[in-house]
Structure 1
Amino acid sequence: MSQQPAPAPARQPLDEHAADSVRAYAAAERAKTDVLASVLEDIAANGYPSPESGVPWETARDAHLARLADEQPRVA
């Protein structure tokens, strides 16, 4: 086995609209990750929240499904 790294694959450039879409997606994912990290840091610093302060999973599920039903259809 060789100790040399494999050559980088050739890349296909994106048009400007596609590149902007990828950047927007990356920013949205980064924002979600930052929120998750702040929640985990809060738990590490202060412990778990009390069950009484939470939302039952059924309520959270129903609210999420309602939000999904209200969204515009998207193409994958």
Structure 2
Amino acid sequence: MKSFADPSTTFELVFEEVRVGDGGLTAPRPTGEIRCTECGATALNIDDFPHEQDCPQRFVHSRWYAEQLQD
């Protein structure tokens, strides 16, 4: 089982643009979501992704989660 920290897996943080002051400037702010760059699925928890059935990263989890499944 691959970990999300493995260099061969690719996830990205999701940002939204928010207004900064009254001058029309915007700045990126993290939403707390993570996006799978393979299938585009988003989640708040790396171990709870609704990946597509054919996503190559479908069974990528944290090491802690994998250990809990083995117990």
Shorter-chain TM range is under 0.3
* Larger RCO, structure (CA 8 Å, separation 6 or more): 2
**Higher strand fraction: Structure 1 or Structure 2?**
2
Tell me the TM-score normalised to structure 1 length: 0.19
Query: Radius of gyration: which is bigger?
Result: 1
